[in-house]
Amino acid sequence: MSSSKPLPNSYSATILPPANKAFVPRDYSHGTELRFSTELPAKLQGRIPEEVFTAVIGNINQLLIAAETGSASVYLESCFACLTGYLAYLCMETQYEKCLRSVSRLVEEYNRTVFGPRNLSMIDPSERGLRVIEIVLLRP
């Protein structure tokens, strides 16, 4: 016994205007290494030179790769955290966190110098779970 009742208006599909956003996806061609694609999204063509875009994403990728690179200091940091029951992480910042903070500062800098003058705004990739880089087109 199924009765076909129409859904109330609050549940009906709402047509939203097209989003003025471009997304730069993760690049999995090198495995699961944290890096983003340097291919210019179609929505940004004509708004930013491809060389500038590639350089921006390349710089962000370098910082993210550095965040995941193991070194003696990272291993010592981990050992110290283990010995203190990971309470050390309450008092100190990890290399990964420092690199993510550097990426955030770099994104802010690029918004002032590269994207802002072109009416674009790059969203910090850590705000999107490091899945995509979102670039908002402020004016068409």
* Tokens standing for residue 115: 């994207």
CA angle, residues 65, 77, 125, in degrees to nearest 5: 30
Q: Which H or E run includes 54? A: helix 50-68
pLDDT of residue 2: 52
Beta strand segments in the chain, E: 21-25, 120-123, 132-137
Residues 133, 114: Cα–Cα separation, whole Å:
15
pLDDT along the chain (140 residues), means of 10: 52 55 92 92 93 96 90 88 88 91 96 94 93 88
